[in-house]
Amino acid sequence: MSLYAKRGVSAQKEEVHQATQRLDKGLYPNAFCKIYPDFLGGDADWVNLMHADGAGTKSILAYLYWKETGDISVWKGIAKDAIAMNLDDLLCVGIYDNLLFSSTIDRNKKNIPGEVLSEIINGSQEFFDELRTYGVDIRYLGGETADVGDVVRTIAVNGTMTARWPKNKLVTNDKIQAGDVIVGFSSSGLATYETAYNSGIGSNGLTSARHDVLKKIYGKNFPESYDTTLTEDVVYIGPNGLTDPVTITAKEIYGADKDVQTDVGHLLLSPTRTYAPLLKRLLTEQFDGIHGLIHCSGGGQTKCMKYLPGEFRIVKDNLFAPPRIFQLIRQASGSDRREMFQVFNMGHRLEVFTDASSAAEMIRIGQEFHIEAQIIGRVEAAAQKSLVLKTEGEEIVY
């Protein structure tokens, strides 16, 4: 059994999918989000969507860093995580504007004071204000903040995003076909709309990352930060402290001309990069060339297999070199590449399926935002769905 499974989590969410398999798949079963008829407006040419997601256990990392250093600003990153994980899923069906967001925050008041709530709530509004400057308008409707100490030990930060959108501007993944290429957009670096180096970690696999990278002392000092029924061999088994310094060289950062000094905590807490400014451009300027969109979140590089419109073989043989954070996690955990690519995005969280003639312009637009982009793979005809990853001299088949 993998370390991930021993900690009571699953990259593939098999039991969740089994529990929901009888639910209506919506109008477009291959789309990245479930799409329903326009119940709100009653227009046959429009659709409704509602999506829920959150920062997951990344909030525990913010808690540890804040308790150790007193730096309360890390909670604004958790606000971004909860928003970006919703927004970037909806972007993958073509929606980039006129969105509504409602937050759900469950806290243990004994451990999470009001000033932390203020950082999260105000950080959410600041993020929405920033996105509006890129033409992505999200209205913050407030939400539910509950003191539920019997349910959570620290805090859970989640949200729901709602949209009404025209059918002719949807990306349903039904246009994905043999011969398509896959353009990957890096999850790490320093985009023009980011203020600090982004490790690329996103908001998936943080249970594994936290326990594999950090030292035993965190479990001893903060027992509220983990499930105390777990066996000691999977709890905080790493070699690192949150404030251990890390140098990211300029060569590791697309378009950079100098090294970045950071620490392990900030690598783990890098706010999930939203691709909203980039996708707003792609969806308004390159819409006809977009055959499919995949957000490589839960399931990592295997995520694309769930949304194919037919029996295709996906070959990814030109992947980005894994950013430093994933190297640290693998070295600390001893996980093999197969598990790493199922749990983490490993270098890119956005995939655009397109024709070869459209790829170059999409890559160029990405580079305008200082987001490294390249053709990372292709779609081939096949008798059954499969995924082949070729990386660092190894071939992995799913």
Distance CA 156, CA 104 (A): 8
Burial call 367-381: b when 16+ CB within 10 Å, e when fewer: eebbbbbbbbbbbee
**What pLDDT was estimated at residue 157?**
98
**What pLDDT was estimated at residue 368?**
97
pTM of the model: 0.94
**What pLDDT was estimated at residue 14?**
64
Q: For the chain of 398 residues, list the mean pLDDT of each consecutive stretch of 10.
A: 64 62 86 96 97 97 98 98 98 98 98 98 98 97 96 98 98 98 98 97 96 97 96 95 98 96 98 98 98 97 97 98 97 94 97 98 98 98 97 95
**What pLDDT was estimated at residue 67?**
98
Instruction: Tell me the domains of the chain and their CATH numbers.
Output: 3-14+22-191+270-397 (3.30.1330.10)
Q: Report helix, strand or coil for 147.
A: strand
**What pLDDT was estimated at residue 10?**
59
Q: Which helix (H) or strand (E) holds 375?
A: strand 373-381
**What pLDDT was estimated at residue 7?**
66
**What pLDDT was estimated at residue 188?**
98
**What pLDDT was estimated at residue 161?**
98
Strand 290-295 to 394-397 pairing: unpaired
Alpha helices, DSSP H only, in 11-73?
Answer: 14-20, 58-69
User: Which residues, in sequence order, are bridge partners of residue 101?
Assistant: 140, 161
Distance CA 3, CA 205 (A): 11
